Amino acid sequence: MNNDFLFHYQTRETLNLHAAEGYAVVVPLAATEQHGPHLPVFTDSIVCENIALEACRKASESMKLLLTPTLTIGCSQHHLAFGGTLSFTSSTYLLMLNEIGESLVSGGFRKIIFLNAHGGNEQLMHQTAQDLAVKHAIWTASASYWSLSRSALYEQNAQEMGMVPGHAGGFEASLIASLAPQLVRGGASADSQHPQRSWINAGPAGTFIGKHGQLTGAQGYTDSILPADAAKGTQYLHAIIESTASWLVQVGNWMNEGVEGEA
C-alpha cells in the first residue's frame, strides 16, 4: 500500500524538495476526551486518522499532498468535568496550531490545510487558517469532516442515528463499531430515554447557543447509541472519505490556479 504521502515517513531532504515542488500539507486535528460510558476517549482520533489517511490516499492520486501525524489532543475544556479527558485551553490550542503552521511555512510550504474531527477545535482552526494567510504569502484552508460530508450523509440517511455528528451518540458509535467494534462498551440499556438537546440546532446555520454544563449533553453525550450499526457506520465512513477527498482535490486545484495566476 502506497504511503509516500505521509509527511512523517519522509526525510528532511525529501520534505525540502516537496516544499519546493509546491506540495500541500494536510494537518488532521482530533481529540482525546470522554465519550460517555460507551465509547473510548480516543473516538475522535480513531475516526480522524481513518478519514484523513484514506481521503489523503485517494486525493494524492490527483494532487501533490502530504499528510502530517494527527494532533490527538484538542481543545476539550467542556469535557473536563466528566473525567477521562486531555485538553488544551482555547488560547493554548490557538497558539499551538499557529506554531504548527509557522513551522510549515519555515520549512518552505505554501499550502496548508487543516482537517478537523472535533467540534471544540473548529473555530480555533478556522481562526488559525485566517491568521496564517493574513501574515504570510500562502494558501490555507480548513474544514471539519461533517461539514464536507453533510449532503452525502443526508443521502445515506445518517440522521436516523440521532445527531450528526453529535457527541458519543448513535452516529459516532456506528463509526467506531465499523472501525474498532471491540471498543464499543455495553451498558446502554437505559440509554433510550437520554434527554435530547432540542435547543442545540435552534436558529439559522452558524448560530451558537450554549448552556453551562450541557455543551456535551446532559450526561456527557448528546444522544442514545442504541441505533448504532457497524454496517451503516462503514457506509458513512465511505461517504465521508469520498467527500473529503473530493474537497481536497478541489482546494488543491484552487491553490494551483492561484499560484499560477500570481506568477
Q: What's the CA gap between 72 and 130, in Å, rounded?
A: 22
Q: Is residue 157 one of the residues assigned to a domain?
A: yes
Express each pLDDT in 236-252 by its tens digit. 999 999 999 999 999 99
Q: Is residue 99 one of the residues assigned to a domain?
A: yes
Q: What's the CA gap between 143 and 126, in Å, rounded?
A: 8
**Which residue type sits at 3?**
N
Where helices occur in 31-164 by DSSP H, the ranges are: 43-59, 90-106, 122-135, 145-148, 150-155
Q: Consecutive sets of 10 residues in the chain, 263 residues long: mean pLDDT of each? A: 92 98 98 96 98 98 97 97 96 98 98 97 98 98 98 96 94 98 73 51 61 66 93 98 98 82 39
**Which residue type sits at 149?**
S
pLDDT of 186 reads 72
Query: For residue 126, what is its C-alpha cell?
Result: 478556522
In the chain, helix, strand, coil percent, each to 5? 50, 10, 40
pLDDT of 233 reads 98
Q: What's the CA gap between 104 and 237, in Å, rounded?
A: 29
Q: Is residue 1 one of the residues assigned to a domain?
A: no
Question: How many separate domains does the chain show?
Answer: 1
Q: What's the CA gap between 208 and 168, in Å, rounded?
A: 20
- Domain holding 77: CATH number? 3.40.50.10310
Q: Is residue 112 one of the residues assigned to a domain?
A: yes
Q: What's the CA gap between 128 and 142, in Å, rounded?
A: 9
Residue that is written with C-alpha cell 447509541 in the block: 225
Q: Is residue 137 one of the residues assigned to a domain?
A: yes
Say how many C-beta atoms besides its own lie within 10 A of residue 126's C-beta: 17
pLDDT of 259 reads 55
pLDDT of 220 reads 86
Q: Is residue 11 one of the residues assigned to a domain?
A: yes
Domain encompassing residue 55: 7-187+213-254
Q: Is residue 72 one of the residues assigned to a domain?
A: yes
Query: For residue 15, what is its C-alpha cell?
Result: 520534505
Q: What's the CA gap between 154 and 125, in Å, rounded?
A: 25
**Which residue type sits at 233?**
G
Express each pLDDT in 172-186 by its tens digit. 999 999 999 999 997
pLDDT of 261 reads 39
Q: Which residues pair with 67 in a beta bridge?
A: 6, 26
Q: Is residue 139 one of the residues assigned to a domain?
A: yes
Where helices occur in 180-229 by DSSP H, the ranges are: none
